Amino acid sequence: MNFLEAMRVSLRSVTANKLRSFLTMLGIIIGVSAVITMVAIGEGAKASVANQINGLGSNLLIVNSGQAKQGGNSLGAGSPLFTFEDTKALQQKDSIAGVTPTVSTRAQLVYQNDNYTSNLEGTTESFPEVRNASIQEGRFFTNFEVNELANVVVIGPEVVTNLFASSNESPVGKTIEINRIPFTVIGVLKSQGSSGMTNNDDRLIVPITTAMERLGQSSLRTIYVSAISPDEMLQAQFDIQQTLRAQHKLMPSQENDFTISSQSDILETAQNVTSVMTTLLSGIAAISLVVGGIGIMNIMLVSVTERTREIGIRKAIGAARGAILQQFLIESITLSLLGGLIGILLGVGAAWLVNKLGGVDIAITMTPMLYAFLSSLIVGVAFGVYPAKKAAEMKPIDALRYE
């Protein structure tokens, strides 16, 4: 029996009992489709996180206070805070395009009969340039308003939805209360979506002087810095470190009392977390492949038992041991590969439904499909060898006497 004839016999055997064949392939189908779906969602999440983090600002560097260590312990809240002199010193560096210090807290908002709790950030007029923020309606506050401690606020689109939905009117020019203090809305930010655990649309921006003097936010712990170009990122980090060490009068033996994070650092951390979760979920889903392989082996052993007399007749008329082995192994591989192909189609379809119905970003590539196909082939061979070997090693006389 040549290879093509063995394929025809195997396919005929698989299609002879369609329900049993389908149930045999079910474990492979579930495993492959689950892996394809999980990888597509995971890769989509990584791409989405990358886009959102890159959208935070052009060549962004984040400088946080309170990260120095003494004796292995973080100084925490007792460490030195930043000052406006620090930000002015940073603005003098050629590698730095913009600097904006920031204070943040949660704030209670009230407008007419609506109230809402949102994230409040106090910052400077450089915020749009450094943080890559655009105004959808109205304007951003000016340096004059920062110096004058003006009670003006720029709000995110989610704040508009939650605070002005019932009034169905433009928020620009309206007066809202922030922690019981009246503020005039002068602008609405364009949507930036989420970045990591932060919702950039659910926030309100006020002058930093107003936040520190009238809203009780006196701790300046964060400075956002924009490098003049991607090529100057390392130079900007070096300049920030040298400048702040000089400003804080740190000795050469002392560690920094601040940390500098770049977009690439944040992105790498976020994508590492996503990759670990994707790998974990895919590994769990891949267990179904092993279960499916065991199902194939069980059915093939049943098939060998059912066709014992057939095997005996074939051997009696001269069929070689290799031909019997080949026939049953091809049958096992056929079941596994058919299950893999169906699983790939179902996995792609499931990922598409998750994207359309759930609004979750996906990224379907050929690599996981190729791995799934190869995995199906390996499962078919690994779990088909024993039944095929058992059939090939049968003695013709014993097989012919089998009832």
In a structure prediction context, what are the per-residue pLDDT tens digits for the chain, which is 403 residues long?
566 776 777 777 777 778 888 888 888 888 888 888 888 888 887 777 666 666 555 588 999 987 544 444 444 444 578 999 999 999 999 999 999 999 999 999 999 888 889 999 999 999 999 888 899 999 999 999 999 999 999 999 999 998 887 777 889 999 999 999 999 999 999 988 765 557 788 999 999 999 999 888 778 989 999 988 878 888 999 999 999 999 999 898 889 989 988 866 666 666 677 777 777 777 776 777 788 888 888 888 888 887 788 878 877 887 778 888 888 888 888 888 888 899 899 999 998 888 888 777 788 888 888 888 888 888 888 888 888 888 888 887 776 766 5
Half-sphere exposure of 316 (CA within 13 A, CB side): 12
Residue given tokens 């004058």 in the structure block: 148
Backbone torsions φ then ψ of 186, nearest 5 degrees: -110, -10
Q: What is the pLDDT of residues 258-286, one digit of tens each?
A: 998 886 666 666 667 777 777 777 777 67
Written as six digits, the tokens of 219 are: 């701790």
Task: Give one word for 223, left, alpha or beta, with left for phi > 0 and alpha for psi -120 to 50.
Answer: beta
CA-to-CA separations, 198 to 142, 202, 270, in angstroms, rounded: 26, 9, 12
DSSP per-residue codes, 82-140: P-HHHHHHHTT-TTEEEEEEEEEEEEEEEETTEEEEEEEEEE-TTHHHHTT--EEEE-P
Residue given tokens 């004839």 in the structure block: 5
β 152-155/203-207 pair status: antiparallel
CA distance 36 to 41: 9
Q: What pLDDT score does 94 carry?
A: 92
Q: What pLDDT score does 106 carry?
A: 92
SS3 148: coil
288 in Cβ contact with 34 (< 8 Å) = yes
Q: What pLDDT score does 68 carry?
A: 46
**Residue ranges of domains in the chain:** 3-52+268-401, 81-247
Alpha helices in 248-365 (DSSP H): 263-306, 308-316, 321-358
Written as six digits, the tokens of 315 are: 């051997």
SS3 364: coil
CA distance 393 to 398: 11
292 in Cβ contact with 342 (< 8 Å) = no
Written as six digits, the tokens of 123 are: 């910052």
Q: What pLDDT score does 3 carry?
A: 66
**pTM for the predicted model, two decimal places:** 0.60
Written as six digits, the tokens of 238 are: 């070096």
**H or E segment to which residue 53 belongs:** helix 18-54
CB atoms within 10 A of CB 169: 9
Q: What pLDDT score does 157 carry?
A: 93
CB atoms within 10 A of CB 64: 13
